[in-house]
């Protein structure tokens, strides 16, 4: 994103949580201010004037302006990327740097994440990459394999909602503990880590996830020592 409207510290207490939201908020405030000034009316009069209301075309114009700058959205659902690929950044594959970091028991570290809620014991299961509707449909028809730890790149939670309760655990590569998927897993009682940074994890790996770590504080700075580790069990894949 090459340009953001300046945030007014006099009226607005703080900027939005993300640059994208701040961009939209600032541009829409600008449109409203320009229309108010051009109308010559008071704010009270403008509130009841339907001709001055923001319309779909206004939101589309802001959207197009942002995309024309070269910015591309992070897709929050598979349907977005499938229907409008030109608007979204491509999904990143799980990286594999070849790093061989092991813990005190010789288990290979393949990732860390922010724990949504704490449970009594860590979970051992098979990592299964779930990122397409086809995979979800197959599991709906044929059942979710036992001890599946779902590795998901969509923090929205819509994709896996029909089978979420059958997972032994979830590892999500996006979002925060306040994302939709984090909320759903908490309600279902399915252990989950969000914002997972993965390195070398492969589909079918037998892993243990440290869901016994204290839940992440979304308001505090991230401390690597507090993140739950995802460890591959040696010799199993």
Using one digit for the tens of pLDDT, what is the confidence trace for 151-207? 998 777 888 999 999 999 999 998 889 899 999 999 999 999 999 999 999 999 999
Burial 219-232 (b: 16+ CB within 10 A, else e): eeeeeeeebbbbbb
Per-domain residue ranges for the chain? 19-71, 108-232
Q: Which helix (H) or strand (E) holds 138?
A: helix 133-142
Output the pLDDT for position 76. 67
Output the pLDDT for position 75. 74
- Could you please report the per-residue DSSP string of 171-190? EESSS-TTSHHHHHHHHHT-
Question: Hey, is 33 helix, strand or coil?
Answer: helix
Q: Which helix (H) or strand (E) holds 137?
A: helix 133-142
Output the pLDDT for position 141. 96
Q: For the chain, what is the mean pLDDT?
A: 87
Distance CA 196, CA 216 (A): 12
Extract the tokens encoding 117: 């809620």
φ and ψ of 23, to 5 deg: -60, -50
Residue with tokens 């900027």: 15
Output the pLDDT for position 218. 67
Residue of 32, 89, 19, 88 lying closest to 59 (CA atoms) = 32
CA dihedral sign, ordered 77, 174, 6, 85: negative
Output the pLDDT for position 24. 92
For residue 108, the Cα-to-chain-centroid distance in whole angstroms is: 25
Residue of 202, 223, 231, 21 lying closest to 122 (CA atoms) = 231
- Could you please report the per-residue DSSP string of 48-97? T-GGGS--HHHHHHHHHHHHHTT--BPPSSHHHHHH-GGGBPPPPPPB--
Distance CA 158, CA 136 (A): 11
Q: Which helix (H) or strand (E) holds 32?
A: helix 19-39
Output the pLDDT for position 78. 67
Residue 29 · residue 37 · CB < 8 Å: no
Instruction: Choose the CATH number for 108-232 among 3.10.20.520, 3.40.630.30, 3.40.1010.20, 3.50.30.10.
Output: 3.50.30.10
Output the pLDDT for position 30. 92
Output the pLDDT for position 7. 46
Output the pLDDT for position 208. 98
Residues of the chain with pLDDT under 50: 1-9, 237
Distance CA 237, CA 234 (A): 8
């Amino acid at each position: 994103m090459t340009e953001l409207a300046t945030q007014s510290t006099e009226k607005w207490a703080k900027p939005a949580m993300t640059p994208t939201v701040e961009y939209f908020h600032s541009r829409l405030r600008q449109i409203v201010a320009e229309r108010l000034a051009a109308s010559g009316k008071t704010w009270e009069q403008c509130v009841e004037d339907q001709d001055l209301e923001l319309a779909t075309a206004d939101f589309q114009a802001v959207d197009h302006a942002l995309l024309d700058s070269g910015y591309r959205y992070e897709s929050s659902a598979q349907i977005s990327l499938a229907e409008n690929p030109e608007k979204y950044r491509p999904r990143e594959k799980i990286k594999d740097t070849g790093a061989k970091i092991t813990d005190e028991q010789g288990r290979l570290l393949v990732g860390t994440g922010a724990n949504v809620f704490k449970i009594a014991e860590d979970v051992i299961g098979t990592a299964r990459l779930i990122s397409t509707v086809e995979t979800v449909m197959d599991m709906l028809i044929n059942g979710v394999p036992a001890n599946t730890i779902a590795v998901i790149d969509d923090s929205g939670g819509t994709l896996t909602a029909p089978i979420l309760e059958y997972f032994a655990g979830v590892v999500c590569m996006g979002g925060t503990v306040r994302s939709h998927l984090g909320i759903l897993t908490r309600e279902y009682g399915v252990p989950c880590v969000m914002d997972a940074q993965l390195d070398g994890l492969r589909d079918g790996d037998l892993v243990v996830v440290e869901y016994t770590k204290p839940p992440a504080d979304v308001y505090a700075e991230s401390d690597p020592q507090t993140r739950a580790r995802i460890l591959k069990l040696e010799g199993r894949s």
